[in-house]
C-alpha cells in the first residue's frame, strides 16, 4: 500500500513538472478550465499566474482581461500580480488584440485637484492597477496593451501604492521586462505608465501622473521606445523621471519637461509642448536631437544638437514618429551610443521598435526607428494646439501625407479666440497671416487639392469647429 501511494505521488509530481505552460482565455467561462491547454484555459490571467511555478510560461489568448486579479490586505486590487517567481507572460496575438485592463476609482483623487474634470478620472482605493510584480526578477511581459490602470493612493510624497498605474515593480528591480507593449490611459501619483523595470520596444501613449513625476515612466530603463501624449492640459511635471533612454523617440508630449534626472542616448526629443529637460542640468544626453539645449543638459553631455531641419519625423501630429526620407537623424547616431548601459535580454538587443536590425558598427539612426519612410505628399503644420483625428497635437506640430489621397479630421482648440495653422509642402513653409477670415473660407482653402510644391494657409477664428480636410488627386 505504501509503495502504491509513493508511486501515485511520484506520478502526480511528474505531471506537474511537465506542465510548464499555462493558458488564459478571457472568452472561457469562469471556473471552466484547469489552464493546462488552450482548450481548457483559465478565464483570468491571475489564475494562470497563480498555477505557474518559477520559470513557467503563461500563454494568453486574445481578449480583454478586465476580470479577476489579486487583492492585498488593504483591499487594493491588481489585475495581475507576480511574486516570488520569474515567469514569461506572453500573448499569442500581440498588443493590438490582447489587453490587460485596469480601472479608475470614480470617487478618488483627481489629477489636478478639480473633481469636475472627470476626463482625467481618478486614483484611489477602488482603482485597479494593471500589473504588480514583487521579487519577480527575470519576468518577461510580452505583447500586451496595458491600459486604464490607476494607483490606489495619490499622496504628495512617494508611496508604495501611489505609483505605477500600468506596471509597478514593487521591489525596484529593473530585471522585470515589458516587451512589445502599449501603455495607454494609465494614471498614478508617480510613474503613470511604469515604475521601475525595463521597457523594450514599447509605446507609451497618453499616460498621466498627478504630481508630474514621470507621466510615462519613473526610474525605468527604456530601450527603443516611443513616448507620446504624456500629461495633459493643466498638468505640469516631467514625462520621464530618473529614467535611462536608449534609441527612444519622445514627441507630442502635452505638458511638462520631457526629462528629469535622466540619461538619454541616440534619442530624439522633438515636437513636445515643454522643454526636452528640466533646467537644473540634471540630465545627461549623448548623440541626441532635441528642441533646445540651453540649461537643460549637464556638461557631461556630448553631441546634443538642435537640428537645422526640425521636420525629422513623418507625422507626429498623427502619432506616426517614423523618420521621413532624407532626415539627417538617419545617420546622426553611433552604434557605440546605441549599446544600452543596462541589461537587455540578448534576443532583444539591436532591434528597433519595428524589430528591424540596428547596425552594430558605424552610423545608426536616432530614435526608435531605423528605416525611413517616403512621404506620400506635402505636409500640414499647426501653429497652435489642435485635435487631429481625435489625437491631441501640440503647438507647431505637423504631419506629412502618409498616403494619397488622404482625409484628416481636425478640431480647433480655441486660443485667445483664434487658432492658426499653416499648410506647407516640400519643406517650404508659407508663413501664416494673422487676420480674421470666415471659417468657411478657411475650410475651402484647406480642402484644395495638394499639388507638388503648392502651399496653403488659413486662419480659424472663434468657435472650435470641426471639419474633414481632404488631400485628393495623385502626385
At residue 425, φ and ψ (nearest 5 deg) are -140, 140
Residue 448 cell numbers, joined: 484644395
Identify the CA nearest to 252 among candidates 411, 420, 392, 421.
392
pLDDT in tens, 277-302: 887 778 999 999 999 887 788 888 99
SS3 45: helix
Question: Distance (Å, rounded) from C-alpha 381 to C-alpha 395?
Answer: 9
Band of the pLDDT at 106, cuts 50, 70, 90? Answer: confident
Tell me: the pLDDT tens digits for 298-317? 888 999 999 999 899 999 99
How high is the pLDDT of residue 4?
39
Phi, psi of 29, deg, nearest 5: -65, 145
Selection from 58, 62, 146 nearest residue 97 by Cα: 62
Place of cell 511537465: 18
Rounded to two decimals, the pTM is 0.86
Residue 94 dihedral angles phi and psi, to the nearest 5°: 90, 175
Residue 66 scores a pLDDT above 60: yes
> How confident is the model at residue 473, as a pLDDT?
33
Assign 50 to helix, strand or coil.
helix
Rounded-to-integer distance, Cα 317 and Cα 421, Å = 13
Q: What is the pLDDT of residue 462?
A: 29
pLDDT for 455: 32
Kindly state the helix (H) or strand (E) to which residue 6 belongs, with its residue range: helix 2-18
Q: How many helices (H) and strands (E) does the chain have?
A: 3, 42
The predicted-structure confidence for 368-402, as pLDDT tens digits, reads as follows: 999 999 998 878 888 778 888 888 889 888 898 88
Amino acid at each position: 500500500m505504501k509503495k502504491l501511494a509513493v508511486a501515485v505521488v511520484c506520478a502526480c509530481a511528474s505531471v506537474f513538472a511537465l506542465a510548464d505552460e499555462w493558458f488564459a482565455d478571457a472568452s472561457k467561462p469562469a471556473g471552466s478550465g484547469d489552464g493546462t491547454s488552450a482548450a481548457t484555459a483559465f478565464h483570468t490571467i491571475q489564475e494562470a499566474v497563480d498555477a505557474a511555478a518559477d520559470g513557467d510560461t503563461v500563454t494568453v489568448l486574445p481578449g480583454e482581461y478586465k476580470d479577476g486579479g489579486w487583492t492585498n490586505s488593504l483591499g487594493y486590487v491588481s489585475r495581475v500580480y507576480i511574486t516570488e517567481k520569474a515567469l514569461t507572460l506572453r500573448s499569442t496575438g500581440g498588443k493590438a488584440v490582447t489587453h490587460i485592463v485596469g480601472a479608475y476609482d470614480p470617487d478618488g483623487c483627481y489629477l489636478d485637484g478639480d473633481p469636475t474634470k472627470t476626463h482625467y478620472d481618478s486614483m484611489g482605493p477602488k482603482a485597479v492597477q494593471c500589473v504588480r510584480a514583487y521579487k519577480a526578477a527575470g519576468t518577461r511581459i510580452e505583447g500586451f496593451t496595458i491600459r486604464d490602470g490607476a494607483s490606489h493612493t495619490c499622496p504628495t510624497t512617494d508611496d508604495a501604492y501611489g505609483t505605477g498605474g500600468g506596471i509597478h515593480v514593487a521591489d525596484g528591480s529593473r530585471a522585470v521586462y515589458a516587451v512589445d507593449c502599449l501603455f495607454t490611459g494609465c494614471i498614478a501619483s508617480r510613474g503613470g505608465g511604469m515604475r521601475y523595470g525595463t521597457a523594450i520596444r514599447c509605446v507609451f501613449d497618453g499616460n498621466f501622473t498627478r504630481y508630474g513625476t514621470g507621466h510615462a515612466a519613473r526610474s525605468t530603463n527604456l530601450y527603443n521606445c516611443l513616448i507620446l501624449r504624456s500629461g495633459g492640459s493643466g498638468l505640469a511635471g516631467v514625462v520621464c523621471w530618473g529614467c535611462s533612454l536608449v534609441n527612444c523617440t519622445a514627441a507630442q508630449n502635452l505638458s511638462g519637461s520631457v526629462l528629469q534626472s535622466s540619461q538619454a542616448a541616440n534619442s530624439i526629443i522633438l515636437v513636445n509642448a515643454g522643454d526636452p529637460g528640466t533646467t537644473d542640468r540634471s540630465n545627461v544626453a549623448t548623440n541626441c536631437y532635441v528642441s533646445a539645449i540651453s540649461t537643460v543638459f549637464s556638461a557631461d553631455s556630448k553631441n546634443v544638437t538642435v537640428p537645422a531641419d526640425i521636420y525629422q519625423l513623418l507625422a507626429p501630429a498623427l502619432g506616426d514618429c517614423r523618420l521621413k526620407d532624407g532626415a539627417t537623424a538617419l545617420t546622426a547616431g553611433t552604434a557605440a551610443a546605441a549599446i544600452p548601459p543596462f541589461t537587455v535580454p540578448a534576443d532583444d538587443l539591436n532591434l528597433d521598435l519595428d524589430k528591424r536590425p540596428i547596425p552594430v558598427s558605424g552610423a545608426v539612426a536616432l530614435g526608435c526607428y531605423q528605416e525611413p519612410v517616403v512621404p506620400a505628399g506635402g505636409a500640414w503644420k499647426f501653429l497652435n494646439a489642435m485635435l487631429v483625428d481625435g489625437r491631441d497635437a501640440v503647438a507647431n506640430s505637423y504631419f506629412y501625407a502618409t498616403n494619397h489621397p488622404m482625409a484628416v479630421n481636425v478640431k480647433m482648440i480655441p486660443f485667445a479666440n483664434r487658432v492658426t495653422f499653416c499648410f506647407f509642402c516640400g519643406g517650404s513653409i508659407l508663413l501664416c497671416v494673422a487676420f480674421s477670415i470666415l471659417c468657411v473660407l478657411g475650410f475651402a482653402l484647406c480642402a484644395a487639392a495638394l499639388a507638388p510644391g503648392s502651399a496653403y494657409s488659413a486662419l480659424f477664428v472663434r468657435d472650435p469647429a470641426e471639419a474633414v480636410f481632404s488631400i485628393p488627386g495623385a502626385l
